[in-house]
């Protein structure tokens, strides 16, 4: 107890948070949470996702609706397994999870930061399957606590298994960053090192307001940063509404599959670097490292890198 008390005193001396806020944060960190959700990979919802994606909407190649028994495509689980939170319990910015797994005040701003996904090809999820997602929230990293803008990186570990199965088909780690209301985006984009100068394959598209609305609806995601111009500009300091992090990540996987339809992706990792903006063209690029892995990156019209990633093939 004496050690814990000394540690808390040091935190209070160096942090911009109050003693009450630090105490609530310690309680949150010491009480990891679990969230279990069930969903069905129905033909209808997967068809809605396909018509939303420019790789599958019929404009670049013939539209094909998924059929019962098909393997669920890589990354198509991302819009599934969402909390069903009453409107009154959403955060002011429309995000959910405040009651279920969110950190305490003042960490009210949430952004999708990074992720890692592994698929077990020996037991794929199929269209029509009902599956169970089990999320564990426990790994919390503190950054910038000696400044006026402290941040929390909260990682959830997710196992997704067909209902009744003993082993998961998908293993995922997903990280969100939580900030306080006073945090403002930098006017200068972050520089990203080690991005290849040329690409072996690419895919370009312009995410519209319709794209963002449809993807938000599929995720049951009411986050105003994707939907409300006044909120994005006046409350968050961005020039426009932002493209969803998971949509950009999914489009990276889609770009690989678009150019190599028979590729069996076994692992995927990604990290958000800079926000991508609605109605600005995005280009997803890939560079092969041999035959079984590729580096991926996304840039906007100005060449700003929005996300980087990598895939490994089975």
pLDDT, one tens digit per residue, over 12-21 is 445 678 999 9
Average pLDDT rounded to a whole number, residues 103-117: 94
- Cα 174 to its chain centre, rounded Å, is 7
pLDDT mean across residues, the chain: 93
Q: What is the pLDDT of residue 32?
A: 83
pLDDT (tens digit per residue) in 112-166: 999 999 999 999 999 999 999 999 997 899 999 988 889 999 999 999 999 999 9
Looking at per-residue pLDDT, the higher value among 13 and 53 belongs to 53
Q: 159 or 4, which is more confident?
A: 159
Instruction: Identify the DSSP state of 205.
Output: E
Beta strands in the chain (DSSP E): 33-40, 109-119, 130-143, 151-162, 170-179, 201-205, 265-272, 282-288, 293-299, 305-313
What fold, for 32-313?
Answer: Thiol Ester Dehydrase; Chain A (3.10.129)
Sheet (strand 282-288) strand order: 33-40, 130-143, 151-162, 170-179, 109-119, 265-272, 305-313, 293-299, 282-288, 201-205
Say what the pLDDT of residue 138 is: 78
Q: What is the pLDDT of residue 99?
A: 66
pLDDT for 135 equals: 95
Cβ neighbours for 33, distance < 8 A, ≥ 6 positions apart? 100, 101, 136, 137
Two structure tokens written together for 304: 């700003």
Find the mean pLDDT for residues 268-281.
98
Contact assessment for residue 48 and residue 76, using Cβ atoms and an 8 Å cutoff: no
pLDDT above 60: residue 11: no
Rounded average pLDDT over 289-300? 97
Every domain of the chain and the residues it spans:
32-313
Predicted local distance difference test score (pLDDT) of residue 14: 54
Mean pLDDT of 253-282: 97
pLDDT for the residue 187: 87
User: Shortest CA distance to 167 belongs to which of 134, 215, 204, 194?
Assistant: 134
> For residues 63 and 162, what is the distance between their CA atoms, to the nearest angstrom?
27
Of 100, 103, 94, 53, which Cα lies nearest the Cα of 73?
53
Q: At 142, is the secondary structure helix, strand, or coil? A: strand
3-state secondary structure of 32: coil
Q: Give the residue-averaged pLDDT of 238-256.
A: 98
Cβ neighbours for 285, distance < 8 A, ≥ 6 positions apart: 196, 199, 201, 202, 255, 296, 297, 298, 299
Query: DSSP class of residue 277?
Result: B
| CA gap 273, 304 in Å, rounded | 9
User: What is this structure's pTM?
Assistant: 0.93
Residue appearing with tokens 């290849």: 196
Among 67-71, 103-107, 115-119, 127-131, the least confident range: 103-107
Residue partners of 185: CB distance under 8 A and separation at least 6: 236, 237, 238, 275
Predicted pLDDT of residue 97: 81
Peptide bond into 226 cis (omega under 30): no
Q: What would the pLDDT profile of 213-238 be if each residue is shown by its tens digit?
A: 999 999 999 999 999 999 999 999 99
Query: Could you give the angle at which helices 209-219 and 43-52 cross, rounded to 10 degrees?
Result: 160
């Amino acid at each position: 107890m004496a050690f814990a008390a000394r540690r808390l005193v040091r935190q209070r001396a160096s942090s911009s948070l109050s003693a009450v806020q630090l105490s609530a944060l310690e309680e949150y960190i010491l009480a990891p949470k679990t969230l279990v959700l069930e969903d069905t990979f129905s033909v209808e919802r997967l068809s809605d996702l396909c018509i939303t994606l420019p790789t599958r909407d019929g404009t670049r190649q013939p539209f094909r609706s998924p059929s019962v028994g098909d393997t669920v495509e890589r990354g198509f689980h991302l819009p599934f397994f969402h909390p069903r939170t009453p409107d009154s319990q959403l955060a002011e910015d429309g995000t959910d999870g405040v009651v279920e797994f969110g950190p305490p005040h003042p960490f009210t701003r949430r952004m999708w930061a990074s992720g890692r996904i592994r698929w077990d090809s020996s037991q794929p999820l199929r269209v029509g399957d009902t599956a169970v997602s089990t999320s564990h929230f426990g790994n919390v990293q503190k950054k910038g606590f000696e400044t006026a803008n402290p941040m929390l990186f909260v990682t959830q570990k997710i196992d997704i298994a067909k209902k009744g199965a003993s082993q998961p088909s998908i293993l995922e780690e997903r990280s969100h960053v939580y900030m306080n209301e006073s945090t403002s985006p930098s006017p200068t984009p972050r520089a990203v090192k080690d991005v290849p100068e040329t690409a072996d394959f690419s895919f370009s598209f312009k995410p519209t307001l319709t794209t963002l609305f449809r993807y938000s609806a599929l995720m049951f995601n009411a986050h105003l940063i994707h939907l409300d111009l006044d909120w994005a500009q006046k409350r968050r300091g961005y020039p426009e509404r932002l493209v969803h992090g998971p949509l950009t990540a999914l489009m990276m996987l889609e770009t690989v599959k678009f150019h190599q339809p028979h590729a069996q992706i076994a692992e995927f990792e990604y990290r958000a670097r800079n926000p991508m903006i609605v109605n600005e063209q995005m280009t997803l690029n890939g560079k092969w490292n041999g035959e079984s892995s590729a580096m991926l990156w996304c840039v906007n019209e100005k060449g700003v890198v929005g996300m980087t990633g990598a895939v490994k093939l089975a």
